[in-house]
Chains A and B, each alone.
Chain A
Amino acid sequence: MLSLREAQTQFAAAVLDGSDPVYAVYRNNVFTCLGRALADAYPVVERLVGAEFFRHTAYRYIAQYPSRSGDLNAFGEQFPAFLRGFPSVRALAYLPDVARLEWLCRRALLAADRLPLKLACRALLPSVQLFASDWPVHRIWQVNQPGWMGDPSVDLRLGGIKLAVKRAGHRIELLPLTPGEWEFLCSFAGRLSFDEARARAWRADSDFDAALAMGKFAEEELLA
């Protein structure tokens, strides 16, 4: 008689293989559920490529990058890397970066409200993520949010962007950063001292004003 482990191994293989219609309901459940989880994590990517194409892409991803957790919020982390190597989206060179930004938004939404007490000094809040791209991903993200009423066009010649991704209540906000602010926050996130962070920010941006920047970070609630 089949052991339980053998039975489960064979059953899972048959569901994923898909050639035997006996397992069709399960196969449909698995791909629908994981596909929906991916669409929940990457709504802007889905909007950019269309629901039908996204589903096709998601199925390829699911087959290549198995889910490793019973928590669906953990599914989809490698999707940006997958998109970078996915020939069908090569024409949309900015798409992997849009996905990278969306994963950071997901992380920001799930992060702790505050730091553990022992770390609660001069650090980024757990819900703040730093993001840089050579594409105007900030603008692409903005005009593809539900309810966006403004001009939907994006000029890709706008070039790159550096951002702080932050949580404000139940929403995500993107805060553009100057090169100096970016260096400063990256240094901070890397646990460098205030003086070292300031020195690096100056090297990146001779106009960097640490006092002004700290005021902005406090106002935007980026730091613990």
Chain B
Amino acid sequence: MKQQRPAVSAASIPVRAGIGLRAPHHHEILAAAPAVGWLEAHSENYFADGGPAIAALERARERYPVSLHGVGLSLGSTDLLDVEHLRKLKALIARVEPGLVSEHLSWSSVNGRFLNDLLPLPYTEEALRHVCARVCEVQEHLNRQILVENISSYYLFAHSTIPEWEFVAAVAQRTGCGLLLDVNNIFVSATNHQFDPSQYLQAIPVQAVGEIHLAGHESNGELLVDTHSRPVCDAVWALYRHAIRRIGEVPTLIEWDNDLPELSVLVAEAHKADVIWREARALAA
């Protein structure tokens, strides 16, 4: 099942920190052009045939490298792949020419019903074979490599037989896809399920990592929840330092979706990531 890595224009996303492009910031980003390396857009938010949202993304694309990040493809579902969704994604890719295209290592639909959330997979051989076949199907359809992101989880299937980090690594190795390593998600799941996050990082094939995500989370009293509603916390910054010492030169993205702050707060978080990245590289040199 292993494929040659297709040539990918990942190089057009610079090894700097970028920020998520969110509709309330469209106007300000276009007017003020903040000094961030690149922007990431949620693919489905721009599936429109025309109108103001896609127009704003196209204008942003004139100034910044853009990555497309999907939240709705339901990669791990046992339902048939939604060909209409793939068609729209492919059309958006043609229109925006993103440097990277990513999806999640999760599922969100079964028996035709969508829950529109990133739901966890049981980590079994069957699930691994299924997800790998789907990743290959998507890469073939889009005729490009995709990155696959590890999710935050709040549930473990009792019949899982493979540690998540080995599952993630195997998907990259078997399909030739890249990995979008979400450091906050590793921290959230490690806390919720009591595993060692550095063990997770250690298992990740360094050369497969094409992007890193950072975000804020909250506690609901029992579990950490990946809310994308806060600044990145100190423990996640520490894990990020650890990750980039091992992984090296990859672009980093600051994600923020709920209780969206002023644009300047996101830009400051991105600059913080840039500073940490430079310090870590200086130390490694």
Q: Which residues of A contact B (CB under 8 A)?
A: 1-5, 7-9, 11-12, 15-16, 22-23, 25-26, 29-30, 33-34, 37, 66-73, 75, 108-114, 126-127, 167, 169-170
Contacts and interface: CB of A to CB of B under 8 A. Distances in A.
Nearest to A8: B110
Given A7-B122, A70-B73, A71-B88, A127 B51 contact: yes
A9 B114 contact: no
A109 B48 contact: yes
A37 B45 CA distance: 11
Contacts of B122: 2, 4, 7
Contacts of B139: none
A26 B36 CA distance: 33
Interface size bucket, B side? 35 or more
Given A112-B49, A167-B51, A69 B72 contact: yes
A129 to B, nearest CB: 13
B107 interface: yes
Contact of A4 (B52, B124, B220, B223): B124
Interface in B45-87: 45, 47-53, 55-56, 70-74, 77-78, 82, 85
Nearest to A40: B23
6 contacts: A4-B127, A5-B110, A23-B155, A33-B116, A72-B116, A112-B49
A110 B44 CA distance: 12
A2 B159 contact: yes
Contacts of A22: 155
A67 B116 contact: yes
B93 interface: no
A15 B119 CA distance: 10
Contacts of A75: 116
A98 to B, nearest CB: 22
B225 interface: yes
B220 A68 contact: no
A16 B124 CA distance: 24
Nearest to A73: B47
Nearest to B71: A70
A17 to B, nearest CB: 12
A126 B155 contact: no
A72 B130 CA distance: 25
Given A70-B72, A71-B47, A111-B51, A30 B127 contact: no
B115 A30 contact: yes
B116 A111 contact: no
B71 A126 contact: no
Contacts of A12: 110-111, 113, 115, 119
Nearest to B160: A7
